[in-house]
């Protein structure tokens, strides 16, 4: 039985599986939305949550692993090519 309630931002691990973070709780759909360390999004029925043998764990040392991308990963071409729709936020700063 789960000893911990789902809390957004907390990390959990089911024995024998990878760690995941609670990213949302949808009360209307009665689900807990989770994101695996590799970036995979999934949901768990809130009624099933207490039956899972979850262990609350510390965030991984490199908790940003699901969002890390090298520039070459965008399209496999040139590292200087920017993906479609990319805008550098610094382009919008006033230049002094």
pLDDT of residue 74: 45
Residue 87 domain-assigned?
no
- Mean pLDDT, contiguous 10-residue spans, the chain (96 residues): 79 88 93 90 93 89 56 49 60 62
How many domains are contained in the chain?
Answer: 1
Contacts of 89 (CB under 8 A, 6+ apart): none
Residue 57 domain-assigned?
yes
Residue 88 domain-assigned?
no
pLDDT of residue 42: 93
Residue 55 domain-assigned?
yes
pLDDT of residue 89: 66
Full-prediction pTM beyond 0.85?
no
């Amino acid at each position: 039985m789960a000893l911990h309630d789902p809390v957004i931002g907390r990390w959990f691990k089911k024995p024998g599986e990878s760690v995941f973070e609670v990213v949302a709780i949808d009360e209307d759909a009665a689900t807990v939305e989770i994101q695996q360390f590799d970036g995979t999004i999934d949901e768990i029925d809130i009624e099933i949550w207490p039956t899972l043998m979850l262990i609350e764990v510390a965030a991984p040392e490199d908790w940003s692993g699901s969002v890390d991308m090298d520039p070459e990963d965008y399209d496999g071409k040139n590292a200087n090519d920017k993906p479609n729709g990319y805008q550098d936020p610094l382009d919008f700063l006033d230049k002094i």
